[in-house]
Every structure is written in C-alpha cells, then in structure tokens.
Structure 1
Amino acid sequence: MIDFDDVCYAYDGEPVLRHASFHIKKGETVVLRGPNGAGKSTLLRMLNGLIYPELGTYQFCGTEITAAKMREHRYAKWFHQQMGFVWQNPDAQLFCGSVAEELAFGPEQMGLSTAEVKSRVEDALELLGLAHLRGRAPYTLSGGEKKKTAIASILTMNPSIWTFDEPLSALDEKSQAWLCDFLQALKDAGKTLIIATHDVSLASTLADKTLTIHADHSVELSA
C-alpha cells in the first residue's frame, strides 16, 4: 500500500530524512518513533502528499506521489479521501466558523449529497460527544474538544489510512483514555494507522510494527 524507496529530504540543505526505505501493508498499525527534530512530522507530511521526496520515490497503491501527480485534481481528491491526517496542534487544522461546518467541509469537497453530508456529520457529532458544541467556533473550545473536533473532521471523510502526530499531547487523562480506545476501535475496524508518539504504553498496545527515525535521520522499520 505504502512504499518508500531510498527517500531523502532536506530543509535548507540540512538532511531530515536519509535513504528511507520501507513498506506498510493495508490494515497495519505502525508507530513512528524518534527524538524531537528527527523528522517524524516531516515524514507524516510526506505521507499525506504535502511535501515530496527530493531523492527516491514514494508510491501509494502503486502510484508515485509527486508534485505533478498531486496537481491532477481528480487524483488528489481521491488521495485525500484515502489519507486522513490529525495534526499535533488542532489549531493548525481547524478553520471553519463552527464545529458542524468543520465536520461537513471534507464530505462537501468529496461531492457527496447534502443528505449524506448531514448524515455523516450527525453520526460523528454523536460518536464523539460533540453534538452540544455543533454551533461553537472551534477557537472557543478546550484543548480536548479541539482534538475531538479535528478527529471528527477526518472521521466524516472515512479514510482507509489515518495518520496522527503526537495524538495524546496536551490532553488530560480522561481524554487520553478516550483517544486510546478510539485508536483501538480504528485498528479493530481494519484501518491502517500511522502514529507518531512518544507514549510507550500506546506504542506497545497498538503497534504491529515500529518505524524509527534515528538522530542521524536514518529510518528503520521493525516488527
């Protein structure tokens, strides 16, 4: 499903990923580990088609992901339906005027019917306990509520792959417990999960494989 072949990437000449080669199968849960600044967030952005290899190739379901390919509207639309990205800081992800609008945005971009959009929004609001916040502006929410809204906005897209950047950060104990249960439910549903986390307990509970980015920015996939 996901294939990296000798991928390299640098910021201003400073390497961030060195010769990354790995394969992730459909339905696997892969935990992304490494010290701060090693390149975990960069790798997640690349997986989501936001940046591209400078050397080497990234293939998704047999198609190489490049800037030119992602300029093809039909393909990019399909790709972003498959790949969901929950950012570490939900403020970087939320931009609509209300929680309900946030949840509806993705399905609307997919071209779904008004009835289907409404159904998905209502289901997500109910599942994540956000119904009472539907009319609130995201910037007025607590940290945990923002995180749930960000997750709900991906849930309404129903992607086959979920990527998370430090999902437990800035959450209280209750919210962390809820999120761990939610991640387990996604795994049980057969979703492919790629999770960057420093949380050892989360990693040991969920991971089928571990993708480690070392301090020298080399990448290693292990069972």
Structure 2
Amino acid sequence: MITLDDICFAYDDTPILSHLNGTIGKGQTVVLTGPNGSGKSTLLRLLNGLVFPQEGTYTFEGTVITPAKMRDHKYSKWFHQRLGYIWQNPDSQLFCSSVREELAFGPLQMGLAAAEIRRRVDDALELLSLTKLAERPPYSLSGGEKKRTAIASILTMNPQVWTMDEPESYLDAEGLKWLADFLPSLKEAGKTLIIATHHRELLGDIMDDELRLQ
C-alpha cells in the first residue's frame, strides 16, 4: 500500500529525514518513534502529500506521489479521501464555524448525499460525546473538545488510512480511555494506522511494526 524508498527531506540545510526506507501494508498498525525533532511530524505530512521528498520516492497504492500528481484535482480528491490526518494541534485542523459543519465538511467534499452526511455526522457526534457541542464554534472549545472534534471530522470521511500525530495530546483521562478503545476498533475494521505517539500503551497489542526515526 505504502512504500518509502530512500526518502530524504531537509528544511533549508537541516536534514530531517535521511535515506528512509519502509513499507506499510493494508491493515497494518505502524508506530513512528524517535526523539523530538526526529521527523515524525514531517513524515506524516509527507505521507499526506503536504510536503515532498527532495530525494527518493513515496509510492501510495502504486502511484508515486509528486507535486504534479497532487495538483491533479481528481487524483488529489481521491487521495485525500483515502488518507485521514489527525494533526497534533487541533487548531491546525479546524476551520469551520461550528462543530457540525466541521464534521460535515469532508463528506460534502466527497459528494455524499445529504441523508448520508447527516447520518455520519450524527453518529460521530454521539460516538465522540460532542452532540451538545454541535452548534458551538470550534475556537470556543477546550483543548480536549477540539481534539475530539478533529478526530470526529476524520471519522465522518471513513478513510482507509489513518495517520495520527500524537492523537493523545490535549485529551484528559476519560478521552485517553476512549482513544485506547477506539484505536483497536479501527484495527478490527481493517484500517491502516500510522501513529506517532509517546504513549505506546494506548495501542495495546495492535501494533504490527515500528518505524524508528533518528
């Protein structure tokens, strides 16, 4: 599903990813580990087509991901329906005027029918305990509420691949308990999970592989 072949990436003259290789198969759970500044967030952005390797190739389901490929609107739309990205800081992800609109945005872009969008949004609001906050603007929420909204906004799109940058950040004890139950449910549904985390205990026994960055 995903192949990284000799990936190199640098900001200015500072190397971040250096000759990185790896493969991730459908349905696998892969944990990204390494110290702060080792490139975990950069790799997640690269996997989502937001930055591109300066050397090497990133292949997703048989297609090499390049700037030109991501400028292809049809392909880019399909690609972003296949991969969901939960940012470490939910403020980087939320932009709509209400929680309900935030959860509906992705399915709207997918062209789903109104009834299906309502069903997905209502289900996600209930699952993430956000129903009472549905009409609130995201900026007015607490950090944990924002993080749950960010997760719910990906859930309504139902991507095959979930990429997560420290999904535990901003969550309180109750939210962490929910996350520890939610991740195995994604695994059981056959989703591919790529997770950067400092709390591997949240994953229980679902981890298949580890990609360590230096």
TM-score category of the 2 structures, normalised to the smaller one: over 0.9
Provide Cα deviations, 1:13-37, integer angstroms capped at 9, x if missing partner: 1110001111000000000000000
The whole-number CA distance in structure 2 between the counterparts of 1:204 and 1:186 is 13
Deviation of 1:173 (Å)? 1.3
Output aligned runs, 1:18-57, within 5 Å: 18-57=18-57
Aligned twin of 2:58: 58
Amino acid at match of 1:198: H
Alpha-carbon separation, structure 2, partners of 1:28 and 1:51: 23
CA RMSD of aligned residues (A): 1.0
CA shift for structure 1 position 139 = 1.0
Contact 1:197 1:203 in 2 (8 A): no
Stretches of structure 2 that go unaligned for 5 or more consecutive residues are: none
Counterpart for residue 162 of structure 2 = 162
Deviations 1:145-197 (A, max 9, x none): 11110011001110000011011122211111111111111111110000001
Greater CA drift, 126-135 or 48-57:
126-135
Is 1:133 paired with 2:146?
A: no
Deviation at 1:75?
0.3
SS in 2 for 1:206: coil
Q: Is the 8 A contact 2:180 2:204 kept in 1?
A: no
1:118 alignment partner, SS class: helix
**Is the partner of 2:102 in helix, strand or coil?**
helix
Q: Which residue of 1 aligns with 2:102?
A: 102
Which residue of structure 2 aligns with residue 217 of structure 1? none
Aligned match of 1:8: 8
Offset of 1:200 from its aligned partner?
A: 3.4
Deviation, 1:143, is 1.5
Query: 5+ unaligned residues in a row in structure 1: which ranges?
Result: 215-223
TM-score between both structures, scaled by the size of structure 2: 0.97
Structure 1 range deviating more: 38-47 or 162-171: 162-171
CA distance in 2, matches of 1:64, 1:46: 12
Residue type of the alignment partner of 1:56: G
Identity of aligned residues (%): 64
Counterpart residue type for residue 146 of structure 2: K
Kindly state the Cα deviation for residue 206 of structure 1 after the two structures are TM-superposed.
Answer: 2.9
Who is 1:74 aligned against?
Answer: 74
- In the comparison of the two structures, how many residue pairs are matched? 214
